[in-house]
Amino acid sequence: MSKQAKKLTLDDIAKLAGVSRATVSRVINKYPHITPDVRARVQKIISETGYQPNKIAQSLASQRTGIIGLVIPSATQTILSDPYFLHLISGITQKTNAYALTLSLFLFHSMDDEVQIAHSLFNTNLVDGLIITADRKENPFAQQVITQDIPFVVIGRSDLNTPLASVNVANEQGAYLATEHLITLGRRRLAIIMCDHNTAGDDRYAGYRRALADYDMAFDPQRVVCGDFSLESGYAAMQQLLSAKPDAVFVSSDMMAIGAQQAIRQAGLRIPDDIAVVGFDDLPQAALTDPPLTTIQQPIEELGMVAVDLLHDLMHDSAAAPRQVVLPIALIRRTT
Amino acid sequence: MSKQAKKLTLDDIAKLAGVSRATVSRVINKYPHITPDVRARVQKIISETGYQPNKIAQSLASQRTGIIGLVIPSATQTILSDPYFLHLISGITQKTNAYALTLSLFLFHSMDDEVQIAHSLFNTNLVDGLIITADRKENPFAQQVITQDIPFVVIGRSDLNTPLASVNVANEQGAYLATEHLITLGRRRLAIIMCDHNTAGDDRYAGYRRALADYDMAFDPQRVVCGDFSLESGYAAMQQLLSAKPDAVFVSSDMMAIGAQQAIRQAGLRIPDDIAVVGFDDLPQAALTDPPLTTIQQPIEELGMVAVDLLHDLMHDSAAAPRQVVLPIALIRRTT
DNA sequence: CTGAAAGCGCTTACAG
DNA sequence: CTGAAAGCGCTTACAG
């Protein structure tokens, strides 16, 4: 407890309680068949001394560390500007706290990091399982994980054509609803700010196209611009789009939508009168843009929570068939 | 490597290379005095087999895990809406990657979590060191850490009156500059949206007061409102402030400033004509608000990087005097 | 420069 | 229900 005290071990507790180390270990691990007397005696010593088992020794002996890794292989730039990841992490930590798991976080700041981290994660017995955000279409890290003997779950769709445990939201359907909403409003010159190199971006683009087709709306490649989910890229994309004179734009993330709104205003146009905007995410800030942003709500925290649930199941029953969960989305109408 | 293969151990490598486990261990740990031949032979086997040492076993034997913990004891709500933390985490992971340390993340979602996490972190030998964001004035967790025998560094000032390793930015001076800027602009009815229960908030408030005093400006408690660093709270605070008819407001975080701008616009007032706004942080989104936000730039990523540097030093030389680093800030003029 | 041996602090069959 | 013992896979004085 205090600074100087030499740390107590199982052995010390065993001696103090007059039992074997095995018994103390069983008490700590809540093994059911222990004489109540003995259990009480051991517990008393433990609480009196403030003994805490050495987690590393427990891990080595039990072959489980209770650590799970969260790997976010996105470009750092994207991560930085998108509160999405904060919500995801929040959902994940809620569950890891509940399961008494420890979360380790792995971000790549360079190609080198990717190699280094893969190296330190695979075959080192450090983590019991992995959660991977698989937004990038090119995802060499995820490719590697498949070949490893480690439970993992993927957040977002993955094109790894293997049955994997995964959680995702109904991206295609969300984009469809958003686009349909704009069409229903009477808009005719629809545009999209999408995100390439990203599976969620692809799915949302597909939903946009499907809605256009279903409603016999013209598709004009001039009115398609790519961003990278960042605020800045949404701003730049909208500036580019302006010359194509859209009267509505579906932006596939709220941060990009906020940037797009800014570009529209700066061009002296009115929202939604001149250009209607619909986003995707429903971040808290979406309700406070000018005007408030109509958007597709996706349950980001829940995404994280379900990921941990799936992983937890996998870790305790490796024979379990990997489950794919798709969470529902909803259109949140604000401005229009 | 592949799914079925039973994992190799030091012993296996030793046998394959015809040396002792000690020698293999020395090669792995880059012990300098090894016969080149022997080293080469061992390394060949290691790379041929793809052997990776078991990190847990290494940790138990060496009494170091290479894991450091990042503890963010802020209210979850605050964390979620503030990209600040993303930048901080980014800075931290850049350095942990460089030092080949593993980062574990601890967020509190309830009072119970706080107890649980403290319990699992202290005296369990899991982490080699801790980084704590000490923004809350009431910080029982930080108080506890002090009594533990574990290296740690605090991000943000702490009122724990002990010489601690810490990194911070010049909050007071930043607020002073921001306020001075508004005064120099000719504004006379200054207001502040501050953040209570938070040491950074306190420091910034102090800088505001000092500038007011230096320039003989009236201080009106009517023109002081508290938020919690979230966008929503900035919005609400500004609405409240409106009746006091300020002509300028220093908002002690960018997210709150963005919320405040929104409230001003919604009230039909112009920025900066009717009310000038200065923020604090210089998040990427500050450059894209309407109008672009003048703000105090603080090097958030660097805060995280320095924290890891300090901790790294502490872990390798526990006798080292804990250092206090204060990073400079700068006024970024945009709109006015 | 290298090896034999002890040790890190636990867990978990195996007996009884 | 409980204990003795082996084992988890490494590191590191200690000799030589």
- Give Cα separations from B288 to B257, B258, B283 (angstroms): 12, 10, 10
Q: How far apart are CA B108 and CA A325, in angstroms?
A: 27
**DSSP helix/strand/coil, B162:** coil
Joined together, the tokens standing for residue A22 give 């095995």
Q: Any idea what the CATH number is for the domain that residue B160 is in?
A: 3.40.50.2300
Q: How far apart are CA B30 and CA B34, in angstroms?
A: 9
Is the same domain home to B96 and B46?
A: no
Distance A9 CA to D1 C1' (A): 23
Q: What is the mean pLDDT of residues A142-163?
A: 82
Q: Is B263:A288 a contact under the CB 8 Å cutoff?
A: no
Angle between helices A36-49 and A10-17 (to 10 degrees): 120
Q: What is the pLDDT of residues A323-334, one digit of tens each?
A: 899 999 999 999
Q: What is the mean pLDDT of residues A306-319?
A: 90
Positive/negative CA dihedral, A264, A265, A268, A271: positive
Is the per-residue pLDDT at A300 higher than 80? yes
Residues B81-115 as b/e (b if ≥16 CB within 10 A, e otherwise) read bbbbbbbbbbbbbbbbbbeebbbbbbbbbeeebbe
Cβ of B55 and A149 within 8 Å? no
Nearest-CA distance A260 → chain B (Å): 10
Is the per-residue pLDDT at B3 higher than 70? no
Q: Any idea what the CATH number is for the domain that residue A11 is in?
A: 1.10.260.40
Return the closest-CA partner of residue B167 out of B328, B38, B294, B281.
Answer: B328
Is the same domain home to A99 and A165?
A: yes
Q: How far apart are CA B221 and CA A17, in angstroms?
A: 62
Alpha-helical regions (H) of chain B: 10-17, 21-28, 36-49, 55-62, 76-81, 84-99, 111-121, 140-146, 171-184, 199-214, 231-241, 254-266, 300-316
Residues B222-253 as b/e (b if ≥16 CB within 10 A, e otherwise) read ebbbbbbbbbbbbbbbbbebbeeebbbbbbbb
Amino acid A1: pLDDT = 38
Which residue, chain included where needed, has tokens 């009230």? Answer: B267
Q: How far apart are CA B296 and CA B319, in angstroms?
A: 36
Range of the domain at B282: 171-297
Amino acid B4: pLDDT = 44
State chain A's mean pLDDT as an integer. 91
Amino acid A136: pLDDT = 75
- CA within 13 Å, CB half, A218: 8
Cβ of B104 and A100 within 8 Å? no
CB atoms within 10 A of CB A170: 18
Amino acid A158: pLDDT = 62
Is the same domain home to B220 and B306?
A: no
Is the per-residue pLDDT at A3 higher than 60? no
Is the same domain home to B225 and B283?
A: yes
Amino acid B193: pLDDT = 97
- Tell which A residues from 195 to 254 touch B, by Cβ distance under 8 Å: 230-232, 235
Which residue, chain included where needed, has tokens 């599976």? Answer: A199
Q: What is the pLDDT of residues A185-197, one digit of tens each?
A: 999 999 999 998 8
| Contact residues, chain B, for A60 at CB < 8 Å | 54, 56-57, 60
Is the same domain home to B211 and B287?
A: yes
Is the same domain home to A255 and A205?
A: yes
Amino acid B65: pLDDT = 96
Q: How far apart are CA B251 and CA B264, in angstroms?
A: 13
Choose one of B58, B84, B105: the last residue of a domain: B58
**Which own/partner pairs from B109-113 qualify as long-range (CB within 8 Å, at least 24 positions apart)?**
B109/A90, B109/A93, B109/A94, B109/A97, B109/B76, B110/A97, B113/A97
Amino acid B5: pLDDT = 58
Q: What is the pLDDT of residues A92-123, one digit of tens each?
A: 999 999 999 999 999 999 888 888 899 889 99
Q: Which residues pair with A129 in a beta bridge?
A: A68
Of B18-32, B150-164, B247-261, the one with minimum mean pLDDT is: B150-164
Q: Is B287:B227 a contact under the CB 8 Å cutoff?
A: no
Name the residue of chain A whose CA is nearest to B234's CA: A288
Residue A333 domain-assigned (yes or no): no
Q: Is B278:B296 a contact under the CB 8 Å cutoff?
A: yes
Residue B53 domain-assigned (yes or no): yes
Q: How far apart are CA A259 and CA A152, in angstroms?
A: 35
Is the same domain home to B51 and B93?
A: no
Backbone angles phi, psi at A35, to 5 degrees: -60, 125
Residue A263 domain-assigned (yes or no): yes
A125 CA: nearest nucleotide by C1': D9
Is the same domain home to B90 and B193?
A: no
Which residue, chain included where needed, has tokens 């939903």? Answer: A207
Which residue, chain included where needed, has tokens 């649930």? Answer: A309
Q: Strand D: which positions are within 7 A of a protein CB?
A: 1-5, 7-13
Residue B334 domain-assigned (yes or no): no
Angle between helices B10-17 and B21-28 (to 10 degrees): 100
Amino acid B314: pLDDT = 92
Is the same domain home to B199 and B254?
A: yes
Is the same domain home to A231 and A158?
A: no
Residue B336 domain-assigned (yes or no): no
Q: How far apart are CA B221 and CA B194, in angstroms?
A: 12
Q: How far apart are CA B257 and CA B286, in angstroms?
A: 9
**Which own/partner pairs from A287-291 qualify as long-range (CB within 8 Å, at least 24 positions apart)?**
A287/A334, A288/B231, A288/B232, A288/B235, A288/B258, A288/B259, A288/B262, A289/A257, A289/A258, A289/A261, A289/B262, A290/A261, A290/A265, A290/B262, A290/B265, A290/B266, A290/B290, A291/A334, A291/A335
Q: What is the mean pLDDT of residues A294-322?
A: 92
Residues B178-208 as b/e (b if ≥16 CB within 10 A, e otherwise) read bbbbbbeeebeebbbbbbeebbbbbbbbebb
For nucleotide D3, the protein residue with its alpha carbon nearest to C1' is: A20
Backbone angles phi, psi at B60, to 5 degrees: -65, -40
Is the same domain home to A11 and A37?
A: yes
Choose one of B13, B31, B58: the last residue of a domain: B58
Is the same domain home to A185 and A271?
A: yes
Cβ of B81 and A289 within 8 Å? no
Amino acid A160: pLDDT = 62
Q: What is the mean pLDDT of residues A26-30?
A: 94
B288 in contact with A, Cβ within 8 Å: yes
Sheet holding B129-133, edge to edge: A324-327, A165-169, A152-155, A129-133, A67-72, A102-107, B102-107, B67-72, B129-133, B152-155, B165-169, B324-327
Question: What separation, in Å, do the N-terminal and C-terminal C-alpha atoms of chain B show?
Answer: 60
Q: What is the mean pLDDT of residues B16-39?
A: 93
Amino acid B156: pLDDT = 85
Cβ of B93 and A107 within 8 Å? yes
Q: Who among A104, A124, A265 is closest to B103 (CB)?
A: A104
Q: Is B203:B157 a contact under the CB 8 Å cutoff?
A: yes
Return the closest-CA partner of residue A174 out of A256, A257, A280.
Answer: A280
Amino acid A82: pLDDT = 81
Distance B316 CA to D13 C1' (A): 20
H-helix or E-strand spanning residue A154: strand A152-155
Q: How far apart are CA A257 and CA A286, in angstroms?
A: 9
Q: What is the pLDDT of residues B175-216, one digit of tens each?
A: 999 999 999 999 999 999 998 888 899 999 999 999 999 999
Q: How far apart are CA A93 and CA B70, in angstroms?
A: 13
Q: How far apart are CA B228 and CA A61, in angstroms?
A: 45
Amino acid A247: pLDDT = 95
- Give Cα separations from A86 to A69, A89, A301, A303, A310 (angstroms): 16, 5, 9, 12, 20
3-state secondary structure B112-123: HHHHHHHHHHCC
State chain B's mean pLDDT as an integer. 91
Amino acid A199: pLDDT = 87
pTM above threshold 0.85: yes
R_g over Cα of chain B: 25
Is the per-residue pLDDT at B46 higher than 80? yes
Nearest-CA distance B119 → chain A (Å): 8
Joined together, the tokens standing for residue B293 give 């936000």
Residue B88 domain-assigned (yes or no): yes
Q: What percent of chain A lies above the pLDDT cut of 70?
A: 96
Q: How many domains does chain B have?
A: 3
Residue B332 domain-assigned (yes or no): no
Q: Which residues pair with A295 in a beta bridge?
A: A279, A332
More confident residue, B172 or A82: B172
Q: What is the mean pLDDT of residues A61-72?
A: 96
Q: What is the pLDDT of residues B78-105, one digit of tens each?
A: 777 788 899 999 999 999 999 999 999 9
Distance B124 CA to C14 C1' (A): 29
Q: How far apart are CA A89 and CA A83, in angstroms?
A: 10
Q: How far apart are CA B253 and CA B296, in angstroms?
A: 9
Joined together, the tokens standing for residue B315 give 């872990």
Residue B117 domain-assigned (yes or no): yes
Cβ of A116 and B100 within 8 Å? yes
Backbone angles phi, psi at A238, to 5 degrees: -65, -40
